[in-house]
Amino acid sequence: MSHAASPAPAATCVGEDAALVDVIDRLLARGVVVRGELWLTVADVELVYVGAQIVLASPEAVRASWSAGR
């Protein structure tokens, strides 16, 4: 499957806000994992731990990943 080269952001959008939209579009097209951890500690005693992993991707990227067997 061949993909056409995407035009440069300056050619398709104008301004810094449009560049942010282009970056988000590219991230969603490929997929990204965001991971975070949070500890609530009082007097060196860990009271609460919260961990999260979030996968952000377009449906097409998820389908392509599953069909490729990754």
The answer to the question of residue 9 being in a domain is no
The answer to the question of residue 37 being in a domain is yes
pLDDT for 51-69, tens place per residue?
999 988 888 888 888 888 7
The answer to the question of residue 34 being in a domain is yes
Tens of pLDDT along the chain (70 residues) come to 444 555 554 455 455 667 888 888 888 888 888 999 999 999 989 899 999 999 888 888 888 888 887 5
The answer to the question of residue 23 being in a domain is yes
| Buried-state track 33-47, b at ≥16 Cβ within 10 A, e below 16 | eeeeeeeeeeeeeee
User: What pLDDT, on the 0 to 100 scale, is given for residue 17?
Assistant: 64
The answer to the question of residue 6 being in a domain is no
The answer to the question of residue 49 being in a domain is yes
User: What pLDDT, on the 0 to 100 scale, is given for residue 39?
Assistant: 93
Write out the residue range of the structural domain in which residue 23 sits.
15-68
Report the number of distinct structural domains present in the chain.
1
The answer to the question of residue 36 being in a domain is yes
50 Rama class: left (phi>0) / alpha (psi -120 to 50) / beta: beta
Of 68, 63, 61, 65, the residue nearest 27 (C-alpha): 61
Tokens of 52: 């999260």
User: What pLDDT, on the 0 to 100 scale, is given for residue 58?
Assistant: 87
